[in-house]
Amino acid sequence: MRHYFFTIGICCIALFCSCRHHNNHDIKISVNESNGRYKFYASFPEQQTGKIHRLINNRLAPNGLFASANDYMNITTTLQDQTTFAVKAAPGIVEIKIDREGNSPASYNRIKDMCGEIKTALKN
């Protein structure tokens, strides 16, 4: 009888660990806006990297940053419309920084709005 309860206990623990490993509670998002600088940071399950990279590429069209979900980067880039911002990215991680100085209000808000869309996409 003890063996039976021990086996059921082990199965319950294994099930709990399995469910915990596959949920989306591993999403961390941080937004900081101060002194004319906007910083967005997100860490998320690596399986969502392709979706997030596609979202960024779509929002930056006709420019594009990512060729695949396996891209790593640490760059400061200037788009065709003269929007300048920094991107650090790896599978499961995106960090974007933009300064108000040196960018038009439209450019600054475009990048902020894109980061808001990333946040929404990760929560869904």
Is the separation of the CB atoms in 96 and 39 below 8 Å? Answer: yes
Percent with pLDDT over 90 in the chain = 65
Over the stretch 87-115, which tens digit does the pLDDT of each residue have? 999 999 999 999 999 999 999 999 999 99
More confident residue, 39 or 71: 39
pLDDT at 69 exceeding the cut of 50: yes
Give the pLDDT band of residue 61 (cuts 50, 70, 90).
confident
Q: Which domains does the chain have, with CATH numbers?
A: 25-123 (3.30.1360)
Other CB atoms within 10 Å distance of the CB of residue 9: 10
Averaged pLDDT of the chain: 85
Q: Which two tokens stand for residue 76?
A: 């400061």
pLDDT at 90: 94
Distance of alpha carbon 91 from alpha carbon 106, whole angstroms = 29
| Long-range pairs, 84-87, Cβ under 8 A, ≥24 | 85/111
Over the stretch 13-44, which tens digit does the pLDDT of each residue have? 655 554 444 444 699 999 999 989 999 999 99
65: helix, strand or coil: coil
pLDDT at 21: 46
Q: What is the mean pLDDT of residues 40-65?
A: 92
Q: DSSP string of 25-50?
A: TT-EEEEEEETTEEEEEEE--GGGHH
Q: Cβ-count burial of 44 within 10 angstroms (0-12 exposed, 13-18 middle, 19+ buried)?
A: buried
Q: Phi and psi at residue 15, in whole multiples of 5°?
A: -65, -45
Strand partners, 75: 87
